[in-house]
Amino acid sequence: MTEATKFYFVGNKLGIDFANTKIAVNGKQIELLEQFSDLAAWALSAGLISAEEADESLGNWKESGQSILGHALNFRAVIHEMIVGLASGASVDDEALDSINDQLKLNNGNTEIVRSETGFEKVHRADYRDPEQILTAVAESVADLLAYGDLSLIRKCENPECVLYFYDTTKNHKRRWCSMAACGNRAKARAFYQRSKQTKDVAGQV
């Protein structure tokens, strides 16, 4: 059974969540995509494939899994660098666009119109038994972000030790943390400690 619990889905965009698969804990970088099974687990967590499909693709791609993973990590490096740049107001270079376009070309899916609660919805159907399609879904997400997103809403978590990014969809656009539980509460506790320490120091001088 594919493990599917260690990943972060705080980015609000699939492409950013994919970039967030290399994390830092206590200043130490941690690679969450160590082997091909991790990539399948990520796709499962992201809702791209079902548990059966994840197990099936692990069986089918045993031989070439390592090279697919290598390709995925290269693509992630491009996306990650682009997200980091966008979060600090930099532009996107042509090499990044070429990489995204190369991945989009491998798309074997089709668009479908389906009924939704409010009317109709356009959805993309891909055969995720071809693991390349996982990266194509990421590329689609990044392409949508560049074409239709507000790039000024791409931010890094304010915890200096955290390396996670997100697309701020809050109403007042004041989101500061990857998640309140992971980084927000810690920062609050630190601020509280600093304040009470200052109060004590001042009190000590009197």
Report H helices in 88-184: 94-105, 132-148
Per CB under 5 A, which of residues 76..135 are in contact with Zn ion?
Answer: none
Asked if 39 interacts with Zn ion (CB under 5 A), we say no
Which residues, in sequence order, are CB contacts of 104 under 8 Å at separation 6+? 136, 139, 140, 143
Asked if 68 interacts with Zn ion (CB under 5 A), we say no
Q: Write down the residue that tokens 């001042």 correspond to.
A: 202
| Relative orientation angle of helices 65-87 and 36-45, to the nearest 10 degrees | 60
Closest distance of CB 158 from Zn ion, Å: 8
- Counting residues that bind Zn ion (by CB under 5 A) gives 6
Closest distance of CB 24 from Zn ion, Å: 9
Give the whole-angstrom CA distance, residue 156 versus residue 131: 29
Closest distance of CB 163 from Zn ion, Å: 8
Asked if 159 interacts with Zn ion (CB under 5 A), we say yes
Selected range binding Zn ion among 65-73, 97-105, 160-168, 190-198, rule: CB under 5 A: 160-168
Asked if 157 interacts with Zn ion (CB under 5 A), we say yes
Asked if 40 interacts with Zn ion (CB under 5 A), we say no
Tokens at 63, concatenated: 């031989």
Per CB under 5 A, which of residues 162..191 are in contact with Zn ion?
Answer: 162, 164, 178, 183
What percent of the chain is helix, strand and coil (3-state, nearest 5)? 50, 15, 35
Which residues contact Zn ion by CB under 5 A? 157, 159, 162, 164, 178, 183
